[in-house]
Structure 1
Amino acid sequence: MHGNIIGSFACADFGIGGLTPLTLDDIATRYNELVRYSHFDPTWNSEKVH
């Protein structure tokens, strides 16, 4: 999750230029957006799928 969030900032600018002005508030905002638009089941277990 965290790599996805940080990577999205890197993709917003050429190279890592999008990372230099980041604040923790920027990261928290992007995280909350990801949570709002996604669903991750924290109780999912691949062993139960069989």
Structure 2
Amino acid sequence: MFVTYILSKVRNYLRYRETVRELSVLTDRELDDLGISRFQIDSIAREHAAA
């Protein structure tokens, strides 16, 4: 059970980092097209990782 919990947390963190990386490479124009501000990247990535 504990190992499953840890693996879940690791997967969530990796999903968070991947989302941050992908959104960070976008230009401000591309982010604007998506309706995202650069300062929102962290919170969006956290929401995505938790889902």
TM normalised by structure 2 equals 0.32
Larger radius of gyration: 1
**Structure with more of its chain in helix, by fraction:** 2
Task: Point out which structure has higher relative CO (alpha carbons under 8 A, 6+ apart).
Answer: 2
TM normalised by structure 1 equals 0.32
